[in-house]
Amino acid sequence: MPVKRGLLILLLMFYLGLSQLQGQEYRVEFTEKPLNRALIELRQQYSLRFSFDDRNLSAYFISVSGTFSSVDKLLNALLAGLPLQWELMGNVYVIFQGAKGIQPSRFLIAGQVLEKGTGEPLAFSHIQIGDHSLVTDVKGSFSFVSDEDSVFSMKASHLGCFVVDTLLAPGSNHKIFLTPFSYDLPEVIVRDNIVARSVQVGERPGLISLNTYIADYLPGNGDNSVFNLLRLQPGVVAAGEQAGDLIIWGSYEGTSRVKFDGMTIWGLKNFNDNISAINPFMTKSVEVLKGGFDASFDDVAGGLVNIAGKTGKRQRAGFHFFINNETLNGMVETPLSEKSSLTLAYRQTYYDLFDAEDVDNSDLEYRIAVKPDYRFRDFNAKYASHQDDGSLFYISLLGGDDDFSYTAEQERQRNTIYQSTSEENHQIGGSVYWGKNRKNGDHFQIKGAWSGLFSTYGVERNISNNRFNRQFSGIDKNTETNVGEGNLKFDYGFQLLDNQRISFGLEGISNTLSIQEDSSNLTVLDSEYSAMRIAGFVKDKIPLLPRIVFQPGLRYNYSFYTSSGYPDPRLELIYESQGAFSASAAWGAYHQFIVKSSLYDETGNFRYVWTLADGEDIPVLEAQHWVMGASWKRNDFTANVDAFYKTVNGLTRYVRFNQSEESVYKGEGYSLGVDVFLKRDFNANTIWISYSLAQAKERFSYFVQDDYRRAPHDQRHELKIAGLMRFFKRFHFSAAYVYGSGFPLYANYLSEEYTEPDYSRLDVALFYRLMRGNVKAQAGISLLNALNHYNVKYISFEQIPLDQLYTAYIDAEAVTFTPLLFLKFEF
């Protein structure tokens, strides 16, 4: 009996529950209520789950009254007469745009990825829609078209931000907000969420994506965060701490290009190795293309670094301040309207950073007295306007001064030797941008930019006879070099079905160069050059198989300066996997029209000078890139391998035997190698290791042996280790170690013998972060070259030949053991 009684009770409960379930009613009373608000009330009242575009549905006002026996009938009544549809996915009711009863032939999803809290567009963010991968443009925009899915499963990630995994209905104005990992949430604990950390590799051939969040925690973060982050990446040479350029995959100086908001940066670093030519307060995202890049990018034979600047706060004003024992830096962001803002930034050194100890004269019988003088300052201004449809307009301006000089005096038994050297670099530039996404998924952008570098270099050396009070002139030379580049570019992209995307563009480029050289008050060189060219490109992204994408492209330049055309075909093949493994390959031809020619002067110094290729005396550089890569990503572990082979023809080298005699030689070169990158993220910590095995060789007609020999920037091995840890919640510790096997230091331009000192540098830092209300503060210390290892710079020292036996070196850029105390706050 008890068993039967229990069964009867269970059956009764089941019957009552079923009756209650079948009798579930939904009572609504809406009068001219926005549809989005109506759905929110229903969700709260009946525990229903909806997914919809809040901005889109807020435009529809409904009047519905009655009782409905099912959710299906309720939704049909709410959406009656509206160009909307609904679909049940699992236990979520997804509402999306579309005429009821009419199945569209294609579904479009488009929108923007923005930073939560500031509304900053997150350029170069990664979007995963089903099996397809996308990368947002400089305004954070993306678009995708499909004829299969009416509801899209999308995953959005940006370096240093929490990943968003969501469902989206078709539409052209989605806003995806990503929360930075460093965003202070004192009362909210986010658990079991994924953070896209410091570096992304393997998405395309030779591509590295970086963020500026992670740079805030690296040693020396205040003034040189861009280079500090770049130098730790595989394939970007850190050893030698070159002063004005980046060596990317064996590229010669001047063959790689750094751009900030579309403006060419003619020198990434300045005389002081700890100060970058780009204010870190102004940077947002960094894209490094080491080689094999597609037809839409610039005409360079080496690599590219594209830096997207901040667009400023539009919700409220903000102020950023930084000070260490070298520079002051400040930035102000102020809204001008709900959709526009103005950003101003300024920094400068506030005392002389060099002293007599920067001269290596330990092996000399007679000491040298040196008086150096140095000043650096720069300024940025940017106006930006955002529209509701995702379009972006901005005007960006920059200017900077980097002046270094010294006087050296050595008193000997009979003579006193004097030398004074000065170099001044002034860079100015401006850019304008307008980009817009159309409702059908197409997009276009117009970009214009101009930047110039104005440099003067002077050296004067004379000898005074102490006994007879006579003075003898040695060298009296002044050189002024002005280089500029302007461009105006229009490109348009449209989306076809199956994620096929076609882009084309047209660009006009103007280069100017003037060189004036005086020797002993006599003009020995006075030349001005200007060159115009137009370039057009077309590229297509074709899905061959569900996970294989083929991207052919063609770039064509016509130079009015050389009266010749230069076609550059480029190909990419990418395996896009939803799993852990991905692979890519690329081949491309590249031409470069404004180049740096190497120069051996009469004092034995090796320098580079800008020249315009005329196709005769100065050839147009020709390069080819072969790139292959593979990547493995699982949970918080990333492994990536890139292999490359590059050739370059049309190198030019001046050899100056004395003040009146010089010869010009032409040459060629190649580089090859492999990069290995390993990264592990755990909790709030990250560590990565990169190793580069590379070779760069060259051949010039003046070589004694008609064969290739090591190029000045050739380095066989480079190992980098970086780690960041957080402990006690607000303390952050970071360390970076770089080892390089060294560059060949040739005795002179004819010698085949060289020395090869290695490079070793350990940097460490300890920071403390604090937040009080709207004020965020950070204080700490960085120890650069903490072990005080003596390192030889790559082409960064000035030689003073005193006689046949002795030479002094003015090592103006040496980073010895350097402690940097800093304080930074923002509100």
The helix/strand/coil state of 339 is: coil
Could you give the angle at which helices 71-78 and 35-46 cross, rounded to 10 degrees? 160
Separation CA 241–CA 284 (nearest Å):
23
Other Cβ atoms less than 10 A from the Cβ of 426: the count is 15
For the structural domain made of 19-97, what CATH number should be given?
3.55.50.30
Q: Note the residue count of the chain.
A: 827
Question: What is d(CA 461, CA 807) in angstroms, rounded to the nearest whole number?
Answer: 14
Question: What is the CA angle 544-549-555, rounded to 5?
Answer: 110
Exposed, middle or buried: residue 716 (CB in 10 Å: 0-12, 13-18, 19+)?
middle
CB atoms closer than 10 angstroms to residue 526: 11
* 3-class SS of residue 18: helix
Q: Distance (Å, rounded) from C-alpha 40 to C-alpha 797?
A: 68
Rounded Cα gap, residues 643 and 694, in angstroms: 10
Between β-strands 171-178 and 152-157, what pairing exists: parallel, antiparallel or unpaired? unpaired
Alpha-carbon span 487 to 450, nearest angstrom? 7
β-strands 392-411, 141-146: how paired?
A: unpaired
pLDDT (0 to 100) of residue 352: 57
For 96-130, b where at least 16 C-beta lie within 10 A, e where not — what string? Answer: bbbeeeeeeeebbbbbbbbbeebbbbbbbbbbbbb
d(CA 700, CA 106): 58
Q: Are 484 and 512 in contact (CB under 8 A)?
A: yes
Number of H helices, E strands in the chain: 5, 50
Q: What is the pLDDT of residue 50?
A: 84
Contact of 136 with 124, CB cutoff 8 Å: yes
pTM metric for this prediction = 0.77
Domain ranges across the chain: 19-97, 107-196, 207-826
Residue type, position 584, single letter: S
Which architecture does CATH list for 207-826? Beta Barrel (2.40)
Could you tell me the CA-to-CA distances from 386 to 124, 156, 340, 433, 735 in Å, in that order?
18, 21, 6, 12, 38
Distances (CA, A) of 682 to 26, 37, 206, 495: 47, 41, 26, 39
CATH class for the domain made up of 107-196: mainly beta
- Contact between 259 and 427 (Cβ < 8 Å): no
SS (H, E, C) 455-487: EEEEEEEEEEECCCCEEEEEEEEEEEEEEEEEE
Amino acid at 503: S
C-alpha 442/C-alpha 491 separation (Å) is 11
- pLDDT recorded at residue 71: 86
Q: Which residues contact 152 (CB under 8 A, 6 or more apart)?
A: 107, 109, 129, 130, 144, 146, 167, 168, 169, 170
* Amino acid identity at 382: K
Inter-residue contact 415 to 465 (CB < 8 Å): yes
Task: Identify any residues that bridge with 526 across adjacent strands, giving them in sequence order.
Answer: 516
Q: Assess contact for 480 and 513: CB atoms under 8 A.
A: no
CB 827 within 8 A of CB 777: no
For the chain, report the end-to-end CA distance as a whole number of angstroms. Answer: 75
Extract the tokens encoding 210.
Answer: 């970086």
Residue type, 95: I
pLDDT along the chain (827 residues), means of 10: 48 43 71 83 83 78 83 85 80 73 61 80 77 76 71 74 76 78 42 48 77 72 68 85 78 88 76 68 86 90 89 85 84 89 88 52 50 78 87 92 72 66 84 86 89 83 66 70 92 77 92 83 76 94 84 94 94 81 92 85 68 87 94 84 94 74 84 92 82 93 84 91 84 89 76 79 88 82 86 56 40 64 84
For the beta sheet containing 807-810, the strands, ordered from the edge strand earlier in sequence to the opposite edge, are 359-360, 807-810, 798-801
SS (H, E, C) 236-278: ECCCCCCCCCCCECCCCCCCCEEEECCEEECCCECCCCCCECC
